[in-house]
Copies of this chain bind each other. A is one copy, B any other.
Amino acid sequence: MKLAYSAASPYVRKVMIVAIEAGLDSKIEKLPMAVRPDQPNAALATDNPLMKVPTLVTDAGDKLFDSRVICAYLDGLNPGAKLIPESGPARWKALSLEALGDGMTDAGLLVRYETALRPKELQWKEWIDGQTKKVMQGLDQLEKDTSVLSGPLNIGQIAVVCGLGWMKFRNVFGDVLATRPKLAAAIAKLEERPSFKATVPQG
């Protein structure tokens, strides 16, 4: 399998954690890609018109994206404990937590694009505030109920750790865990896992 890859991407990290947990990481050839929304990467467009990492080309030549689809595909190949519960309330809770983690990450990315890529004189405060509020409300909900971050590892927990790890790496919102001690402890516990340690963002 070939994976369009960036060592800084929170979405690529989700895929790599799932691959490691499934024992499949040695079967994945990483193809490093530069991706910026204001500088489209034509090389990536052949496999994914959206020009986003991660994109996985399977051994059969199928082109899979985005991270949710690739993670589900790799989890399906996992002979061990599934990261996406196969049925029942646990499935919908894990997938909604993944959507929360991804949604917070998306909002964080929009804030970073606005503050780090867009020329300063074109920045719009209401936009930054609106996206920031989504992230802060997500953090507050997780602080209020960290139970979703304990129990058997699932894709939702992975998405949350990848999102928060990326925000810290890029210092998008400062130290958001300083005022949220329960969430900080739950994240620190998850980050002890080898698959998380092996994929700390770089770049």
Q: A92-B73, A99-B66, A118-B124 are in contact. Are A49 and B130 (CB under 8 A)?
A: no
This chain: how many copies in the complex? 2
Q: A40-B130, A92-B64, A96-B63 are in contact. Are A50 and B122 (CB under 8 A)?
A: no
Selected from B89, B103, B119, B138, the residue in CB contact (under 8 A) with A62 is B89
Q: A49-B141, A122-B123, A124-B119 are in contact. Are A103 and B40 (CB under 8 A)?
A: no
Binding site for B on A (CB under 8 A): 37-40, 45, 49-52, 58, 60, 62-66, 68-69, 72-73, 76, 87, 89, 92-93, 95-96, 98-100, 103-104, 107, 113, 118-119, 122-124, 126-127, 129-131, 133-134, 137-138, 140-141
